[in-house]
Copies of this chain bind each other. A is one copy, B any other.
């Protein structure tokens, strides 16, 4: 007998037929003798509708009212899934965030979970009752509904699994696991049986949209075994686990890409102490996140060229902020370029293997792909290249690192 948390995303509970199918799936787990808690998202499209209504209603944004409106989507799904389970003879009840309560901080719209008391839920699970918990929501110190931000239901599920000391947290979604790279681009991409938390974290933050970054962080911190799998078929998924649970570790586990970044180059910036702070300070003040940064000495020693990336959505604002500071910063030319992609090679095996980055540079060079920016971390090498080479680079790297399905 195991204790399992199962989370179903919006496409998995998109309509009443899907909710009934999900109930059937949960029943199999219950019939196998497991204790099951379930976390649900809103039915696909519902959250967008609710968000849209709040935007139509007011220009101002009171995040407390926003949370009150938007959290209703998960409330509906939780009640309906409890009913669908009962209809199949499974003892079940819904739990809203304030009923558990899932205590969060008071940052409405992107609250963080602080505590989940589980005594009552565990008592009922032991009696065979399935807890159907509304995801994405909690209760703030002000006794009002908080929400956890986009994709927050993944975080709800992992946090609940941690609080329940669950043996596993199954994240059901519309893909059947984590792949070595995007199978829509690389036909030979393989589903991974296992991946480490660290790798999953890099994959999530480098653009693979399977799991929300915060939920992976939380799983890693609390050592929650997470399984990513599809609610549309019965194929086994990908297990996200501790490094020591993976017997034969690949050097490279996966290759991610992100088209969400844009490049900014400042040419002939006067090279004096404090220039980086003078450039990036104003961007931080405007809540613009800077990712990769490279600084080169230009031909004349007194100047430097600076290249960095920001979110594509922030590019126009970035240009505006820097142009306003042109006089004090003293750069000659500002070149924005949205047509770039960041490709990241990820694997914990890099820690003990040399030559991973070199292999990447060599492979891209062989395809005549110019590398514009490089950044590395302990288990990741990222490069920025022209966007038009995305598919070519992904396929070449996938083959070069021996990831192709045979």
Contact = CB atoms under 8 A, between A and B. Distances in A.
This chain: copies in complex: 2
A66 interface: yes
Contacts of A57: 16, 19-20, 80, 83-84, 87
Interface in A4-61: 16, 19-20, 50, 53-54, 56-60
Nearest to A134: B68
B87 A60 contact: yes
A69 B80 contact: yes
A68 B75 contact: yes
Nearest to A94: B68
A58 to B, nearest CB: 4
B83 A65 contact: yes
Q: Which of A60, A62, A98 has the most CB of B within 10 A?
A: A62
Nearest to A68: B79
User: How many of chain A's residues touch chain B, expressed as a range?
Assistant: 35 or more
A98 B16 CA distance: 27
A368 interface: no
B87 A65 contact: no
Contacts of A83: 54, 57-58, 60, 62, 65-66, 69
B96 A68 contact: yes
Contacts of A19: 57
The 3 A-B pairs with the shortest beta carbon distances in the complex, nearest first, are A58-B87, A69-B79, A68-B79
Contacts of A79: 54, 65-66, 68-69
A58 B72 CA distance: 21
A53 B69 contact: no
B78 A68 contact: yes
Nearest to A99: B143
A144 interface: yes
A93 B65 CA distance: 7
Contacts of A312: none
A64 interface: yes
A129 B145 CA distance: 19
A75 B79 CA distance: 15
A5 to B, nearest CB: 20
A164 interface: no
27 contacts: A16-B56, A19-B57, A50-B76, A54-B79, A57-B84, A58-B83, A58-B86, A59-B87, A62-B82, A62-B83, A62-B86, A64-B93, A65-B80, A65-B86, A65-B93, A68-B75, A68-B82, A68-B94, A69-B75, A69-B76, A69-B79, A69-B83, A72-B72, A72-B75, A75-B75, A99-B143, A99-B144
A60 B86 CA distance: 7
Interface string A120-160: 00000000000000000000000111000000000000000
Contacts of A60: 83, 86-87
Contacts of A80: 53-54, 57, 65, 69
A54 B20 CA distance: 11
Given A19-B57, A58-B83, 7 more contacts: A16-B53, A57-B80, A62-B86, A68-B96, A69-B83, A75-B75, A96-B145
